[in-house]
Amino acid sequence: RKEVEQDPGPFNVPEGATVAFNCTYSNSASQSFFWYRQDCRKEPKLLMSVYSSGNEDGRFTAQLNRASQYISLLIRDSKLSDSATYLCVVTAQGYNKLIFGAGTRLAVHP
Amino acid sequence: DGGITQSPKYLFRKEGQNVTLSCEQNLNHDAMYWYRQDPGQGLRLIYYSQIVNDFQKGDIAEGYSVSREKKESFPLTVTSAQKNPTAFYLCASRIDRVQSDNSPLHFGNGTRLTVT
């Protein structure tokens, strides 16, 4: 089993739709969780950290479920500019080793 | 402006040659990382370093070497032993002073290495 798994997609949604991605992780000792966004042929950029109580940043909401070992990202009112690959990141084997999921592709169409 | 600088952006080498990718940061971050990304795939960890003169192997360290002689610099050498070196290489750094910190990774723009 991979340490961090994501549905590769693609998720094709119309503008204005709500879309959700999940990411499962295998190490129950993982402490830090993040969502990154990566545009084609660019470096990943931090979208948001994921906190135990869940957190929201504008149209984006992140949740953590430690019991089931997954994190989620919800995007409301999708924009064309949200089209990208979304990567989840989890610490593994201690605090300093950060492992990426393979990413979920989102395509928002008019 | 503070940030992470990777150079060059594109690099071409012949098979059998070693090549060193540069990564410099002026964010005063303690930890630095090297990842590799292949087309359509996620990032895989090559090496990481928490402090100067110390580094750990990631998941795919074979065929690579690193050094951390200065806090600001973490160069990666792709040796001729690396069987499939053509890839997108990303360097990142992170504040790493407190073990419970939820600090994220900051990335450089990446180096695209092509070996023929």
Considering only CB atoms, B104 lies closest to which of A31, A46, A99, namely A46
Whole-angstrom Cα distance, residue A59 to residue A90?
22
Considering only CB atoms, A49 lies closest to which of B59, B90, B104, namely B104
Inter-chain touch A89–B105, beta carbons under 8 Å: yes
Write phi, then psi, for A80 (nearest 5 degrees). Answer: -55, -35
Contact A86, A35 (CB under 8 A): yes
Nearest CA in chain A to B4: A43
Question: Which residue is listed with tokens 């500019």?
Answer: A81
Mutation site for A-interface testing, chosen from B102, B106, B112 by largest number of A Cβ within 10 Å: B102
* pLDDT at res. A91: 86
Flag whether pLDDT at B102 surpasses 80: no
Over its C-alpha atoms, chain A yields an Rg (Å, rounded) of: 13
Give the CA count within 13 Å in the CB-facing half-sphere of B43.
Answer: 32
> How does pLDDT run across B44-55, given as a tens digit for each residue?
999 999 899 999
Kindly state the DSSP code that residue A15 receives in the 8-state scheme.
T
- Hey, is A80 helix, strand or coil? helix
> How does pLDDT run across B58-74, given as a tens digit for each residue?
999 999 999 999 999 99
Q: Are strands B106-107 and B87-94 parallel, antiparallel or unpaired?
A: antiparallel
